[in-house]
Amino acid sequence: MRFILDMVHHNPGEGRFESAFLNPQHLKAYGYNGQVFKHINCVATFQATGADLFPNDSAARRWLDGFLPGIETEIRAAKSAGLAVFYHLDLFVLPRALVELYRDEICDPVTGCISLERPRTLELHRVLFDELCARFPDVDGYIVRVGETYLFDTPFHTGNSPIPKAGSGWTPTYGYEEVLRGSAARVVWTQAQADAYVRLLRFLREELCVKHGKHVIFRTWDIFPDKLHAVPEHYLEVTDRVEPHPQLLFSIKHTALDFWRRVKVNECLARGRHAQVVEVQCAREYEGKGAYPNYVMEGIFKGFEENAERVGLKDILKHPLIRGVYGWSRGGGWYGPYLKHEFWCDLQAYVLGRVAADPARTEAAVFHEYCLERMQLSPKDAAKFREFCRLSARAVLKGRYCEAFDLTLHEALLPTALWMRDDRLGGLDQLADVLGYLARHQLLEQALAEKAESARLWERMAELLRQITIPDQRLRETLEVSVEYGRLLFQIVLEGWRVLAAQVNGERTGQYDRAELGASIERYDALWREYRALSASPECASLYEGVYFNLPGSPPVSGLRDSVEQCRALLLQEAGRR
């Protein structure tokens, strides 16, 4: 295992997280040998072009002068600890002033987007990489992503993906918008996309690996299962056309979609001619980010319980093509929950780092080590805590997803994973396909029973935690608050789904069980009051909201709260008629 990398991915456009994982000594103690940062490409001045893009006394120069010291400090600290340094780059991202200067030579004349096909686009990126490698010689390599360009922290830059959409022209970004609009808007694979990937990869190989001796780790990042990321035929169609190099690797998520449950292991892993690293998220953005218990490392290493074929990292890491892991100890997604304590992220990142550093060790052995050495538990209590953690993974699976829908349709549509994400709860708009399918196939009761099982598991976890002696008082309070957070949140989910299911059934049949619907809304309201009161604890993460996800700066999106209010209004209207 040559690469055991970690990144704290700060929310785009927000302040930096306070995290122990920003400390390179902490990473080293956990088995990591490399640290990943972002945005180094945005401090390039492109002076070799002769252009003055950051003139003295300009706002752009003030931003640059304020941003640069942070880059220099993080490189110096990581190197002092003996860690390799990597920077995550989104391509294409260039200074706005540079794009304006060379617009006719780098931008598509129809869309106005930076195009891989224009004559000067790669020439300017050659200038970029020459400057970065000369100015920051201690940087060991670059992790390159295409598909989305996050510009929230870089106000004087602009950009778009180098890969064309299935249709004509180029696009500033793709990914989230297609996801939010559903499967009908999927980007499908085309020969033009394959050719663009190949051209870009050959350029990166020659400019960074061959010319400058830097590592390039190319992220095959995506959400949909129909492009480079998760379809072996597409992955091989591109990568087989690129000559291998010892410093060129591909970074691939261990899941075939995003970091969700009820998703098969990524079949592109351990395929082809090129070395790979495996991406793992420790603070899973669709599953609370560490606000509540959700121990996933057993499933990641051994295979999750819901998968018919139990394949995990314990199998994948043995393959000679696999050269390491790329973990995200914190970050991914947007917004909250914002943590007051990193315990759940810390446990996951510890197990990931220590096992990756020594694949002969088992996940269970490293977990036990954490319990004894870092939590100071007795062997008996460590065994109870192991049971607690296993229950957490099952409770999240049952409360967060929907077996009756996901097992049938996740190959054709995205699974229910998107209805609940970051700190947002979707409603009828986000669950229309799911609830409609369940209603048509008489599966609503089965889905609600699954949510009720999750609620019972959270109760069982709370009881089990009371039986464990935890010497550190703050840690005990943290765990108690986190399990209460999960218990109340997934009871809200249960009652919210009951309300939504009753509304969908009522719309289909014209008949509403007003008594049961009213009781569910009453329980829903009471649970929200109890959940909000929990936030008074100094150990409590920020809470979920009953609105749905919107990109920063975009209008609010209706979610669970509005859907329940629609149902409440319906009951009041019916009561008035009576």
Q: What is the pLDDT of residues 309-360, one digit of tens each?
A: 888 999 999 999 999 999 999 999 999 999 999 999 999 999 999 999 999 9
Start-to-end CA distance of the chain, whole Å, equals 71
Question: Does the residue 520 lie in any domain?
Answer: yes
- pLDDT digit string, tens, across residues 19-30: 999 999 999 999
Element (H, E) at 104: helix 103-106
Question: Does the residue 361 lie in any domain?
Answer: no
Question: Does the residue 364 lie in any domain?
Answer: no
pLDDT value for 140: 98
- pLDDT digit string, tens, across residues 186-196: 456 888 899 99
pLDDT value for 226: 60
- Per the structure, the complete domain to which residue 511 belongs is given by 381-577
Task: Supply the pTM of this predicted model.
Answer: 0.94
171-180, 211-220, 263-272, 515-524: segment of lowest average pLDDT: 171-180
pLDDT value for 414: 62
pLDDT value for 164: 84
Report which of 201, 211, 280, 195 is spatially closest to residue 248, judged by C-alpha positions: 201
Question: Does the residue 408 lie in any domain?
Answer: yes
- Type of residue found at 236: L
**Which regions of 92-195 does DSSP assign to beta strands (E)?**
93-95, 141-146, 157-159
pLDDT value for 411: 46
- pLDDT digit string, tens, across residues 111-127: 999 999 999 999 999 99
Q: Is a pLDDT exceeding 60 seen at residue 177?
A: no
> In which band, very low, low, confident or very high, does the pLDDT at 167 lie, cut at 50, 70 and 90?
low
- Type of residue found at 157: H
pLDDT value for 545: 97
**What is the rounded CA–CA span in Å between residue 161 and residue 146?**
5
Question: Does the residue 532 lie in any domain?
Answer: yes
Q: Is a pLDDT exceeding 80 seen at residue 563?
A: yes
Rounded mean pLDDT, 129-141: 98
> In which band, very low, low, confident or very high, does the pLDDT at 77 lie, cut at 50, 70 and 90?
very high
> In which band, very low, low, confident or very high, does the pLDDT at 576 lie, cut at 50, 70 and 90?
low
Domain total in the chain: 1
| Unique residue bearing structure tokens 């009761």 | 445
pLDDT value for 572: 78
Question: Does the residue 346 lie in any domain?
Answer: no
Rounded mean pLDDT, 437-460: 96
**What is the rounded CA–CA span in Å between residue 144 and residue 208?**
11
